[in-house]
Chain A
Amino acid sequence: MTAIAASTARAPLLGEGTRVGLLVVPAVLFLAVAFVHPVATLIGISVHDKGGWTIEHYVRLWEVPAYLKVLQRTLLMGAGTALICLVLGYPLAYRLAHAGPRARALILAGILIPFWTNLLVRAYGWLVLLNPKGMLNGALVGAGLVEDPLPLVQNTLGVFIGMTQIMLPYMVLPIAAVMTRIDPALMRAAYGLGAGPVTAFRRVYLPMTLPGVMAGTLLVFTISLGFFVIPALLGGTRDIMLAQLVELNINQTLNWGFAAALATLLLATTLTLYAAAQRWFRVGALWGDLA
């Protein structure tokens, strides 16, 4: 490299490494102006109001039972969705990780095509299926299996159904990634040493997949906390989650300070959880998997 640099007539002002490094500047500048500055402004609004510093918006969050209830519900919905996704997703990940090339391609397509389908299309699809006059209730009532339509949507059940359908890939892919790396010889050894299938799974296979389980569970929980569209469309009026409370305070009560405090709380929780999850997965690597 130096030989070439010396041989050219004019030596460049900066080294090649530095010049390549400069390519990051436009992206950083753009994000500083169009992302970091707005987010910092929002955090500022939450602690600075009416010309002075204040924590009143955060205090209000703790003092009003209705708001605490929303926080509690948000955490419960996140935990519930993570649990359902784990139960449904672990066997799916197992089948995906240990499938032949053809079955693997099929299962992957079955996971990824819905994943890349527009969120609103999927929410609308659930409404079509689950509403009181929808496909499922129409079929059930028509067949005489139930007298009155079942309440499947516009309630907590509807939100869980919608959130699970969206979050399942985030559970399956990290677990499957860990499973693919497990050496099959270990399971053969367990069988050879006299372990039954249940013991071999419980003592050998399951512990080795725990990093994937942790990654998937944390990821699903974290992303679920910020859900807005699904609870708004598939939930009832009592199923309000944190993100909806933010929107409500901006569009209806016009309380920017409180909305900013709620948003800051959600942001801090999310980033803390991602930081805590660093030991189990790299965020970038996962989104690469979703390709």
Chain B
Amino acid sequence: MSAAVAHGARRRAWPARALDLHVGLVLAFLALPTLAVVPMSFNAAEFLIFPPPGYSTRWYAAFFERREWWGSAITSLVVAVLATAIATVLGTAAALAIARGRVPLRGAVAALLLTPMMVPAIVTAVALYRVFAAWGIAGTIPGLVAAHVVMALPFVLVNVSAVLNRMDWTVLRAARSLGASPLYAFRRITLPMIRPGVLAGALFAFLTSFDEVVVSLFMTGIGAMTLPVQMWTGIRFEINPIVAAVSTMLILVTASTFTAFALLRRTP
């Protein structure tokens, strides 16, 4: 690459430097809201005042003392784990069928399975809320899990399909012709080969569920409360500094998950 760029860079040093400055500023803009939250979480004041009058960890303590906060975090975790497990199994099976099996109207079926990713969250929220309320599961954990599986399934499908499309199927044929049963061949050949895609899909599914706010906002009126809904209430109606403490913890989780995932993927 480099050839063209390096060539250009030698001829005009200042545009290259202007480009680097632009890139630095835009990346700073992307990081800015995340970075701002961290010092604010150690703010001793009741409000978002800068500079803070003093520093304390009181908002972290408040998070672990108040049941509506730590309880909602546990609800979110339970919902996300269940939704991830179901979405990963359904999505992986569907991806295998579409890549390897005889599926009538393959294109239409694949489009249907990807649609929840394209439909605006508010549409999904209103539609699911209406029907789930009629079924009596709107404010319950099963209702939340079902809604999150709908939204997470496409991410599993996309990630597993990406791996399946790159896979060398002659290995599988070799195993089968050497007498391996379909199940044994799946367990010993297919599964290890698609594992990176399944892991990536599961990670996306987990984040989709754990961070989901719009659908949960409609679903959780009086019943199970998730962490994002609790945060929404804390931001919208009172600018509660506990949100800053929660946010800082979430940033830590995201950054470390991302790093672990990147490292995991690098090792073959």
Interface residues of chain A, those whose CB is within 8 Å of chain B, are 1, 4, 15-28, 30-31, 34-39, 41-42, 45, 88-89, 91-92, 94-95, 97-98, 100, 107, 109-114, 116-129, 131, 133-135, 137-139, 142, 164-165, 168, 184, 187-188, 191, 197, 223, 225-226, 228-229, 232-233, 243, 246-247, 250, 256, 259-260, 263, 266-267, 270-271, 274, 283-284, 287-288, 291
Q: Give bound CA distance, A270 to B124, whole Å.
A: 13
Q: Which of B148-163 contact A (CB under 8 A)?
A: 149-150, 153-155, 157-159, 161-162
B151 (CB) vs chain A CBs: closest residue: A35
Q: Tell whether, in the assembled complex, residue A270 and residue B120 are in contact, meaning their CB atoms are under 8 Å apart.
A: yes
Q: Give bound CA distance, A151 to B49, whole Å.
A: 16
> Given A20-B97, A133-B49, A188-B7, is A125 in contact with B36 using a C-beta cutoff of 8 Å?
yes
Q: How far is the CB of A34 from chain B (nearest CB, A)?
A: 5
Q: Give bound CA distance, A20 to B97, whole Å.
A: 5
User: Residue B71 at the A interface, CB < 8 A?
Assistant: no
Q: Which of A28, A122, A188, A267 contacts B4 (CB 8 A)?
A: A188
Q: Tell whether, in the assembled complex, residue B116 and residue A117 are in contact, meaning their CB atoms are under 8 Å apart.
A: no
Q: Which of B15, B23, B214, B244 contacts A124 (CB 8 A)?
A: B244
Q: Tell whether, in the assembled complex, residue B11 and residue A197 are in contact, meaning their CB atoms are under 8 Å apart.
A: yes
Q: Which of B30, B97, B147 contacts A24 (CB 8 A)?
A: B97
Q: Give bound CA distance, A242 to B50, whole Å.
A: 34
Contact string, B84-122, partner A, CB cutoff 8 A, digits 1/0?
A: 000000110110111011110000010011111111111
Question: In the assembled complex, which residues on chain A have CB atoms less than 8 Å from the CB atom of B258?
Answer: 109, 112-113, 116
Q: Which of B98, B118, B123, B213 contacts A42 (CB 8 A)?
A: B123
Question: In the assembled complex, which residues on chain A have CB atoms less than 8 Å from the CB atom of B117?
Answer: 283, 287
Q: How far is the CB of B162 from chain A (nearest CB, A)?
A: 5
Q: Tell whether, in the assembled complex, residue B112 and residue A37 are in contact, meaning their CB atoms are under 8 Å apart.
A: no
Q: Tell whether, in the assembled complex, residue A34 and residue B23 are in contact, meaning their CB atoms are under 8 Å apart.
A: no
User: Residue B224 at the A interface, CB < 8 A?
Assistant: no
Q: Give bound CA distance, A111 to B131, whole Å.
A: 37
Question: In the assembled complex, which residues on chain A have CB atoms less than 8 Å from the CB atom of B222?
Answer: none
Q: Tell whether, in the assembled complex, residue A127 and residue B235 are in contact, meaning their CB atoms are under 8 Å apart.
A: yes
Q: Which among A95, A247, A266 has the greatest number of chain B C-beta atoms within 10 A?
A: A95
Q: How far is the CB of A243 from chain B (nearest CB, A)?
A: 4
Known: A184-B3, A288-B159. 12 other contacts (CB 8 A): A27-B90, A34-B128, A41-B127, A42-B130, A109-B258, A116-B257, A121-B250, A121-B251, A122-B34, A133-B50, A184-B4, A229-B213
User: Residue B2 at the A interface, CB < 8 A?
Assistant: yes
User: Residue B13 at the A interface, CB < 8 A?
Assistant: no
Interface residues of chain B, those whose CB is within 8 Å of chain A, are 1-5, 7-8, 11-12, 15, 19-20, 22-23, 26-27, 29-37, 40, 47-51, 90-91, 93-94, 96-98, 100-103, 109, 112-124, 126-132, 146-147, 149-150, 153-155, 157-159, 161-162, 173, 176-177, 179, 182, 200, 204, 207, 211, 213-214, 218, 228, 231-232, 235-236, 239, 243-244, 247, 250-251, 254-255, 257-258, 262
Q: Which among B102, B109, B126, B231 has the greatest number of chain A C-beta atoms within 10 A?
A: B126
Q: Give bound CA distance, A17 to B97, whole Å.
A: 8
> Given A38-B128, A121-B247, A228-B214, is A110 in contact with B232 using a C-beta cutoff of 8 Å?
no
Question: In the assembled complex, which residues on chain A have CB atoms less than 8 Å from the CB atom of B30?
Answer: 110-111, 114, 165, 168
Question: In the assembled complex, which residues on chain A have CB atoms less than 8 Å from the CB atom of B113?
Answer: 24, 27-28, 31
Question: In the assembled complex, which residues on chain B have CB atoms less than 8 Å from the CB atom of A22?
Answer: 97, 101
The 8 closest A-B pairs by CB, nearest first: A226-B120, A125-B33, A21-B101, A20-B101, A138-B50, A24-B97, A27-B94, A23-B97
> Given A128-B37, A165-B29, A197-B12, is A41 in contact with B49 using a C-beta cutoff of 8 Å?
no
Q: Tell whether, in the assembled complex, residue B33 and residue A17 are in contact, meaning their CB atoms are under 8 Å apart.
A: no
Question: In the assembled complex, which residues on chain A have CB atoms less than 8 Å from the CB atom of B94?
Answer: 23-24, 26-28
Q: Tell whether, in the assembled complex, residue A45 and residue B37 are in contact, meaning their CB atoms are under 8 Å apart.
A: no
A142 (CB) vs chain B CBs: closest residue: B51
Q: Which of A16, A117, A226 contacts B254 (CB 8 A)?
A: A117
B156 (CB) vs chain A CBs: closest residue: A27
30 contacts between A and B (CB under 8 A): A4-B177, A16-B182, A17-B102, A20-B97, A24-B93, A24-B109, A41-B127, A41-B130, A91-B23, A94-B19, A109-B262, A111-B30, A114-B31, A117-B254, A120-B243, A124-B231, A124-B247, A128-B40, A133-B49, A168-B30, A187-B4, A226-B120, A243-B122, A246-B123, A256-B130, A266-B123, A271-B119, A283-B117, A284-B161, A287-B204
Question: In the assembled complex, which residues on chain A have CB atoms less than 8 Å from the CB atom of B179?
Answer: 4
Question: In the assembled complex, which residues on chain A have CB atoms less than 8 Å from the CB atom of B91?
Answer: 27
A94 (CB) vs chain B CBs: closest residue: B19
Q: Tell whether, in the assembled complex, residue A287 and residue B158 are in contact, meaning their CB atoms are under 8 Å apart.
A: yes
